[in-house]
Amino acid sequence: MRVVSADDIQKILTYRALIDALADAFKSDIVVPVRHHHTIPQPGADATLLLMPAWTLSLAAQPDAKPVSTFAGRAADDQRYIGCKIVTVFPDNAKLQRPSVHGQYLLLSGETGEPLAMIEGRTLTAWRTACASALAARYLAREDASHLVMVGAGALAPHLIRAHASVRPIKRVTLWNRTRARAISLGFGIAVAGIEVDIAETLEEAVREADIVSCATLSPEPLIKGAWLKKGTHLDLVGGFTPKMREADDQAVKRSRIFVDTRAGAAKEAGDIVVPMKKKIIDAKAIKGDLFDLTRGKVKGRTSAPQITLFKSVGSAIEDLAAAMLVWKGLTG
């Protein structure tokens, strides 16, 4: 079994290649059982253990199936894979100056069950999460979107910036974080040719000017107000992954054409969707589609330039498996 480090992942993956691999994955035959989500009590904020399995299916087991692509290493010989990500989220780790999220990804042969690789999970997750948002933005953000506001300055932020910049002509990035010093630090670390980076004086002022607002926080209270969103804005909500987390208020949700990564995940785990539904601000019909629908052409994303769009992701094992397979293909040729 090969141990794959964060450096290995960084050398192999590119944003465009992974976005394309994710698009193909959502069109493909991948089994994704319900994510195991366990709360672990802690003296401060509770921790979370996530187990996320997925596997590809053999075409031989589906007589009527037709391959839609050769995505992420799924070759003509129908090579199969099994994968499982093990993740821990400890929100209070920031107080200890340690990452809040840790994880590993185990990739196995779908033919024999043989372990193939143990892949560093935090980096793999950051790449696939950012690229899932960029995949959604292909359908939901205006084609001329040039100003991105990045809310949050954690490990995911630079990936979101670069991923969005790979699908839209981003010329300006405005950073905002509760701790301004961290936003400044992130700004120094962002080096993308042709992009101007600045630090927001206030979140409201930045959001009112944005074409795309991307949020990657663990906020329990809404940060983005619907009243701030100008016509044509695309709102990308990434950070919250439990019903108790929110990054946008009810008005932002109500004003938007809503899409999610997966309906089952978002309707159960995303506070930005679950809470407005419980309050009857929106109903199930307000979710116009997910990444399955968008990539398969079953529903149109943005339908007009003035429209406000919203994408909410909570993560899917499909994305992890697609990323792991792309890494494996890069290692083995």
Structure tokens at 87: 């993740």
Query: Is 10 contained in some domain?
Result: yes
Do 161 and 215 fall into the same domain? yes
22: helix, strand or coil: helix
Structure tokens at 244: 């108790």
**Strands (E) located in 209-256:** 212-215, 234-237
Long-range pairs of 179-187 with CB within 8 A, sequence gap ≥ 24: 179/153, 182/153, 183/153, 185/153, 186/150, 186/153, 186/157, 186/158
pLDDT at 58: 65
pLDDT at 217: 95
Do 208 and 234 fall into the same domain? yes
pLDDT at 189: 83
Do 102 and 10 fall into the same domain? yes
Tens digits of residue pLDDT in 88-138: 989 899 889 898 888 999 999 999 999 999 999 999 999 999 999 999 999
66: helix, strand or coil: coil
Picking from 290, 284, 288, 281, the residue whose alpha carbon sits closest to that of residue 248 is 281
Query: Is 130 contained in some domain?
Result: no
Give the domain CATH number at 175: 3.40.50.720
Structure tokens at 158: 């630079």
pLDDT at 267: 85
Do 94 and 216 fall into the same domain? no
pLDDT at 71: 40
Residues of the chain with pLDDT under 70: 58-78
Do 170 and 105 fall into the same domain? no
Give the domain CATH number at 44: 3.30.1780.10
67 Rama sector, left if φ>0, alpha if ψ -120 to 50, beta otherwise? beta
Do 100 and 156 fall into the same domain? no
For residue 77, the enclosing domain spans 2-124+318-332
236 has which bridge partners? 214, 311
Do 58 and 102 fall into the same domain? yes
Tens digits of residue pLDDT in 277-313: 999 999 999 999 999 999 999 999 999 999 999 999 9
Do 98 and 158 fall into the same domain? no
Do 249 and 117 fall into the same domain? no
Do 169 and 304 fall into the same domain? yes
Query: Is 306 contained in some domain?
Result: yes
Query: Is 129 contained in some domain?
Result: no
> How many domains is the chain built from?
2
Do 154 and 200 fall into the same domain? yes
Q: pTM surpassing 0.85?
A: yes
pLDDT at 42: 94
